[in-house]
Amino acid sequence: MSPETKAKLDNLIEQNKIMVFMKGTKLMPQCGFSNNVVQILNMLGVPYETVDVLADSEIRQGIKEYSSWPTIPQVYINGEFLGGSDILIKMYQEGNLQETVEVAIAS
């Protein structure tokens, strides 16, 4: 990954309490897994930002290296990598996600 791409990823993750790297946008998810993440965050009613990895191949590849996680979507909360769709679903079902999100937004 180029230093420019790493700096861009650092900036996006630091500047947004909840950052989602996904296929498509929050208004038009382009895969089921990305759509799951959007639906969960929308149900929680929290502000979040997204980056469409399909629009930027460097970001698409770079985020996988950045997190050492091979799949998209990827969710960062308060600068920390949380996981993908499956982890978000599990956390939501167990009630942990709401708490994690509330703490992030309050900080």
Judged on CB neighbours under 10 Å (0-12, 13-18, 19+), 48 is buried
Considering the domain delimited by 3-98, tell me its CATH architecture.
Answer: 3-Layer(aba) Sandwich (3.40)
Residue 18: which H helix or E strand, with range? strand 18-22
**Residue 70: is the preceding peptide bond cis (ω within 30°)?**
no
pTM comes to: 0.93
Question: What is the greatest pairwise CA distance in the chain?
Answer: 38
106 pLDDT higher than 90? no
Q: What is the pLDDT of residues 53-97, one digit of tens each?
A: 999 999 999 999 999 999 999 999 999 999 999 999 999 999 999
Domain limits, the chain: 3-98
